[in-house]
Structure formats: C-alpha cells, structure tokens
Chain A
C-alpha cells in the first residue's frame, strides 16, 4: 500500500521569505501522480500544484514549485516570496495509475504560518 509522510507538523516563516515543505512517499508503482493541496482556515481544500511521475521536469505554478526526486521518492514544495495568504495547512497527496475514479492517499499535513 502507498504511504505519504510529511515530517514537519508545523513551520513558520516571515513574509517574503522562501519556505520548503517536505514530503516523501512509498510506492512500487512507476507511473503515478503527486499533488500538493492547501487548506486555509476556510476549510476548502485547494489544489496548489501537481506532478506526473513520468515527467522529469519539476512543476511550477507562479510562486509555487516542486522538487521531485523520483528515485528518492521525495516531492517537496517550495513557496517563494511567501505571503500572509499562504498561511494554511498543506497536504501532500499521491495517486496511483489505476484507471477510473481516483484514490488519493494524503500525508498528515504541515501547518504553515506566514508572519508579518
């Protein structure tokens, strides 16, 4: 069974700093998908960025980028020029290659606080 581990329960940085959230996973699959979701106090889970395992290039979405190390099974999220609105819980998630409906496996989450 796949597992996802986020080893940092909480992190805190100053506004405008860069922060990296770590995520490791365990799978025997070769093709899969990885996601980072953000859950602010409003509770809605919002997709931040996604990575397809067969793509070597790291995904980037504006200030958000990932460092995907397939051999190491590592999928870290880097937030550049952090903003107060980035304060939220961040969840790393894994999805295998099975067709049809998706089954996401989530990590425990990292609570990120951006301080003014």
Chain B
C-alpha cells in the first residue's frame, strides 16, 4: 500500500470543465510535488511545496492551479485545459530537509481531455 494516495485514478473532462486532482500523504513528510508524465517524455516537475509554501513553479500555464492547505494534502485545480494536457499526473512527497531521503510517489491520475 502506498503512503501517497491520489484521487481520482482516472479523469475524463472536456476543455471547458473545472475539476481538481487530490493527493494525500500519510508519511509525515513536509514537501510535496506535482509531476506531469506524457508519453515519450521525461517526467516534468510542475510544482513544489515545502512546509505548505510553494517553492517551485516550473513555468506551468495558469490553467493549472495548485493548492497546499497543509503538509499532508495537495490539490491541482484544472480549468480550460487543452488536449495536450492529457497525461498521467503524479504526486510525490519527501522529507524535504533530509537530502538523502527519496521522493515517494502515488499511483497517479490518468487525465484525458476531450
């Protein structure tokens, strides 16, 4: 069982819809991440939160809006998405201040934009 839980597992939405992806970690970590995984491309880091503060925004379009209400929860709010946004969205967490500790990943949300 993973210590990082992502919901929903699959999401199909139209370009005009608004939806949210949810991530919850049960590992006591203080850093959380959103990644985008597209076919035939390396994982792309989107956002990083450390102690609820956003520390990295990797030039992500504003149609993706992250929210981190506490160190255990991370959301990705979606609106007016494009077909090229179809991908697997992975959430991860880590013990941010311990540089030797790896990131732990969830199972991802498979997003399809119609």
Contacts and interface: CB of A to CB of B under 8 A. Distances in A.
B45 interface: yes
A73 interface: no
A100 B97 contact: yes
Contact of B99 (A42, A43, A46, A102): A102
Interface residues of B, number: 29
B92 A45 contact: yes
Interface in A94-112: 95, 97, 99-109
Contact of A99 (B2, B99, B105, B108): B99
Interface residues of A, number: 26
Interface stretch (B19-27, B36-44, B75-83): B36-44
Contacts of B42: 4, 91, 105-109
A104 B42 CA distance: 11
Contact of A103 (B48, B97, B105): B48
Contacts of B108: 43-44
